[in-house]
Amino acid sequence: MKRPPFSTFPLSVRLGITLTIAGWCFFILSQAVITSALALLPVTLALVCGVMIYSLKPFARVVCGAFNVLMAAAGVYALYRLSAEQPSGAWASLPAVMRAVQVILFSAAAYYVLQKRTADFYRRQV
């Protein structure tokens, strides 16, 4: 079966795929800025998740949705720890802002990837 062009996907699917890839890219770049190093595990997870979500397989949608939820939860926990360690002015620091953007990107990606319209589209691709 020939894969339809990306522009013909439903809006929720396009947003889910785009936000998942944007979330992982922002996560990797922000970690590189914060730590001045590039870890291979997040890069590998980002590549696997990006390929899986674009494969249009129903199980891949669920796995990437779960990864997005876990990444958003990890970002919320990191924000909590950051505020506990530096209570005064911690929310205006660069790591806090980067974590907040990560939480927003991964939460929005999870929302769109786990929608019923997205699930219906992935089910029809099998």
Q: Give the Å distances, CA to CA, from 79 to 31, 41, 43, 118.
A: 14, 21, 22, 30
pTM, 2 dp: 0.89
For residue 50, count other CB atoms closer than 10 A to its CB. 16
The rounded distance, in Å, linking the Cα atoms of 34 and 84 is: 18
Domain boundaries, given as residue ranges, for the chain: 11-124
- Number of Cβ within 10 Å of residue 117's Cβ equals 13
Q: Is 102 exposed, middle or buried, given 0-12, 13-18 or 19+ CB atoms closer than 10 A? A: buried
Q: How many Cβ atoms sit within 10 Å of the Cβ of residue 80? A: 11
| pLDDT digit string (tens) for the chain, length 126 residues | 677 888 999 999 999 999 999 999 999 999 998 888 888 988 999 999 999 998 989 899 999 999 999 999 999 999 888 887 776 665 668 888 899 999 999 999 999 999 999 999 999 987
